[in-house]
């Protein structure tokens, strides 16, 4: 145990290239997925919050249910779409980081959309009547509400990042855990633990936890600044 810990810290202290290459890939994939999730999920959640249309409560229920999509099932569906015989097979991106981004985007988009809907709906309860009385369009109202809750939306982005960076099922299925190419922190931790290289697994685990804490702290600082500046 002592030897494992000492090996873990020496890997971290020596800025082990393998550890940091895996961490960098994980970060790139998850941040890309969260960015795509924000581009789709924030407008989608906001529009559902401010619009009234038949079947709206069903759409809200579907969004909320999709927050709990099992990663491995998402991975399987994306795998089927991207496999050679699937409709997106000609793209040829299966077992590449692009496929991992696609799978994680599917995973985090409903989460961002559902949390955005809730946050924007709360703001709508406060501001909606005023914005409607200004005769602004539904799109414009949604845009203003997103702007108004921009700092609260950090919570949604943070939750999405946490889900993306820590999931293993989807990236394993569509990425294939290929050494030096599609191996992320979570797939590597799982593999190295099975192989018995606990030092590498632990080093990756510490980097993963460190990253999550760092991102959370940055978000908290930004929120605190926003609360001071804008109330």
Partner 1 sequence: MSPALPIRLERLAYRVPGKTILDCLEATIAEPGITALIGPNGAGKSVTLRLIDGLLTPSEGTIRIGADGSARRAFVFQRPALVRASVSRNVALALEPLALSRRERTSRIERALARVGLRGRAGDPATKLSGGEQQRLALARAWATEPQLLLLDEPTASLDPAATEALEALVAEMAGGGTKILIVSHNLGQVARLADDVVVLDAGRAVEHGPTRQVLFHPRTAEARAYLKGELPWTSFAAAS
Single residue of 1, 13, 15, 229 touching partner 1 by CB under 8 A: 229
Binding footprint of partner 1, residue count (CB under 8 A): 19
Q: Does 140 bind partner 1 (CB under 8 A)?
A: yes
Q: Does 132 bind partner 1 (CB under 8 A)?
A: yes
- DSSP code per residue over 179-214: TTTT--HHHHHHHHHHHT-HHHHHHHHHHHHHHHHH
Query: Shortest gap between Cβ of 213 and partner 1 (angstroms)?
Result: 28
Q: Does 225 bind partner 1 (CB under 8 A)?
A: no
Q: Which of residues 180-199 bind partner 1 (CB under 8 A)?
A: none
Q: Which of residues 98-127 bind partner 1 (CB under 8 A)?
A: 126-127
Q: Does 219 bind partner 1 (CB under 8 A)?
A: no
Q: CA nearest 38: which of 26, 30, 49?
A: 30
Distance, CA of 55 to CA of 155 (rounded, Å): 27
Q: Does 230 bind partner 1 (CB under 8 A)?
A: yes
118-125: long-range contacts at Cβ-Cβ below 8 A with a sequence spacing of 24 or more?
118/45, 118/49, 119/45, 119/149, 119/152, 119/153, 119/155, 119/156, 120/45, 120/46, 120/49, 120/50, 120/145, 120/146, 120/149, 121/49, 122/149, 123/148, 123/149, 124/49, 124/50
Q: Which is nearer to partner 1, 4 or 152 (CB)?
A: 152
Q: Which is nearer to partner 1, 6 or 130 (CB)?
A: 130
Single residue of 19, 144, 164, 188 touching partner 1 by CB under 8 A: 144
Q: Does 52 bind partner 1 (CB under 8 A)?
A: no
Residues of the shown chain interacting with partner 1 in the complex, contacts defined by CB under 8 A = 126-127, 129-136, 140, 144, 147-148, 150-151, 229-231
């Amino acid at each position: 145990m002592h030897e494992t810990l000492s090996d873990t810290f020496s890997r971290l202290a020596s800025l082990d290239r393998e550890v940091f290459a895996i961490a960098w890939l994980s970060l790139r994939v998850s941040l890309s997925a969260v960015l795509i999730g924000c581009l789709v999920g924030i407008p989608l959640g906001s529009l559902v919050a401010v619009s009234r249309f038949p079947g709206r409560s069903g759409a809200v229920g579907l969004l909320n249910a999709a927050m709990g999509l099992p990663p491995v099932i998402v991975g399987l569906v994306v795998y089927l779409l991207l496999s050679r015989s699937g409709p997106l097979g000609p793209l040829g991106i299966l077992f590449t980081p692009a496929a991992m981004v696609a799978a994680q985007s599917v995973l985090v988009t409903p989460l961002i959309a559902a949390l955005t809907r809730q946050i924007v709906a709360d703001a709508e309860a406060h501001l909606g009547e005023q914005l409607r009385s200004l005769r602004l369009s539904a799109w414009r109202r949604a845009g203003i509400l997103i702007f108004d809750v921009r700092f609260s939306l950090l919570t949604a982005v943070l939750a999405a990042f946490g889900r993306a960076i820590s999931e293993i099922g989807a990236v394993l299925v569509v990425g294939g855990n290929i050494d030096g190419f599609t191996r992320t922190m979570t797939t590597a931790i799982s593999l190295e633990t099975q192989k018995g290289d606990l030092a590498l697994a632990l080093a990756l685990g510490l980097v993963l936890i460190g990253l999550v804490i760092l991102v959370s702290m940055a978000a908290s600082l930004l929120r605190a600044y926003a609360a001071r500046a804008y109330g």
